[in-house]
Amino acid sequence: MGIVKKLFNSTRKPEGLLGELMVKSMNKGHAAVSDWGMEHITKLHPSKIIDLGCGGGRNAAELLKRFPAATVHALDYSEVSVQKTKQFNQQAIKNGRLQVTHANVLNLPFSADTFDLATAFETVYFWPGPLESFKEVYRILKKGGCFLIVNESDGTNKADDKWLKIIDNMKIYTVEQLEFFLTEAGFSEITIDHKNKKHHICILAKK
């Protein structure tokens, strides 16, 4: 595997030095689309939030800022991401507002009906079994809780095909596919914002 392929494969599961470099770049590279996605949850008042696939921890910090009365739980299956998220949010952890967990979305280590809001920024491309994973998210959300998905790619941009060749096990889903998985998982009141020209997707689904 060449160095370029190794580097970009780190987007799926950051490991080692290349993983650390990739996680650092994620915090900057994903900021704009993540903030755009968060504009869709300004009317919510969650007390317990979980950020799934937390990467470098920047979005967890932003959620804490936007919802000052809430606590956030950040989760990733990459040890590098877990450590970087802890480093990025040391004060929030000390203050008891943030917890960070190493786990997989297929087997979330939380009781049913725990969270008011779950977020997934630029991460569902890499989730194993999207329907099964979405069912797990549904399980841990409280009744009336919401699941926010934000993606830069909508599965219709041919320019994104190169990433599928470089990054192993990456799948870019269309709006229709994501809506199907969410509905099958039990979600209702699915709201979609689709920036067609930029191919950005923001989906908010309610339990």
Structure-block tokens of residue 149: 């998905």
**Domain extents in the chain:** 3-206
pLDDT tens-digit map of 72-121: 999 999 999 999 999 999 999 999 999 999 999 999 999 999 999 999 99
For 23-37, what is the mean pLDDT? 82
pTM: 0.88
CATH architecture, domain 3-206: 3-Layer(aba) Sandwich (3.40)
Angle between helix axes 16-29 and 79-88 (nearest 10 degrees) is: 50
